[in-house]
Amino acid sequence: MSFVRPDRERAGTFHPAWFAGLADQTLRNLDIGRPDRAARMAATLFALAPSGYAAALRLEGLRLSGESEAARRFLDSLPERVRQAPVVLLVQALRARDQGQEALASSLLAEARAAPDPRDARSGGPPPGRMARALRQFLAEFPDAVPAVTTPAAPPR
């Protein structure tokens, strides 16, 4: 029963751990530079458990794969409420920045209310040149490398 959904079970309630694992593997493929594979995995995830997050993962995979036309078609196919999900707006901002549309990128980023620096939130978000390079950096708890921990020198004897 762990591989198939019982007849009367609502989709997404029986094995949500599998969906979380698929989302995690999608992010890992983005991290290791396999956006084409990530886009395919996210397409499966979105088909089985559609959400703004799954849509954003698919868009990010398509964006990083250079599949701008496929990304546009996928975005156009989404319901308005999904297109307006903050995580989807983040990927749209990244796409706009990639296409040189800095004003649109800034507007989308401000709309998503995802300015990485609270000081930037007051001004409507950072300029596109200071935006994170990828969706993962917006989603990560620590978007930049964690500073190395230094151990104090041993006291002289």
Q: Has this prediction a pTM greater than 0.85?
A: no
Question: Residues 16-71: pLDDT tens digits?
Answer: 677 888 899 999 999 999 999 999 999 999 998 888 999 999 999 999 999 999 99
At residue 134, the pLDDT reads: 74
How far apart, in Å, are the Cα atoms of 79 and each of 19, 29, 52, 74, 114?
21, 26, 10, 10, 21
Helix, strand, or coil (residue 143):
coil
Using pLDDT thresholds of 50, 70 and 90, give the confidence band for residue 5.
low
Decide: residue 141, CB within 10 A, 0-12 exposed, 13-18 middle, 19+ buried.
exposed
Q: Which domains does the chain have, with CATH numbers?
A: 16-115 (1.25.40.10)
